[in-house]
Structure 1
Amino acid sequence: MNEIRNTPSVPGQNLADAPWRKSTRSQTSNCVEVAPLGGGPAAVALRDSKDQSGPVLLFNRAGWLGFITGAKKGQFDLD
């Protein structure tokens, strides 16, 4: 998982045109958006919905599946 800002491998224009979506379970704040990416080393992009021009986390397929698995198990819970 890497935080990347408009690198040559992932131009900002490509991310601006990505099909960003937010969960229907999201509250009015503390939301993230996810976008599947078509091709390249990154398979999924993740960003803060309140800062759409801010940093983007990029995941390859294995990294994304690991992140989802960890989230479901509560690995990232702050409680």
Structure 2
Amino acid sequence: MPQFNLHLVARNTPGCLERILNTSRVRGFEIMNFSAKLDRNERYYQIDLAVNSQRSQQSLIMQLAKQYDIRELTPVKMKRMIRSVAI
């Protein structure tokens, strides 16, 4: 199943994080990783979200962009991890 990573900046409002998670799950995306940190002024969250789904990344982006708390939404290209094997 394809994994998608997104970076979001969202206002610190009641229910903001819950709306992001709920929208992702309801739209058929499995949450693999979710990390949120407040900025120094505690006004905005810096959020990293990793999801799995057969659905397109664009469908999730369109739904999250509709939320009034979201200020920035950026797809993050995944770096392929190369595993070294001892011989």
TM-score, normalization by structure 1: 0.29
TM-score, normalization by structure 2: 0.27
Structure (1 or 2) with the greater strand fraction: 2
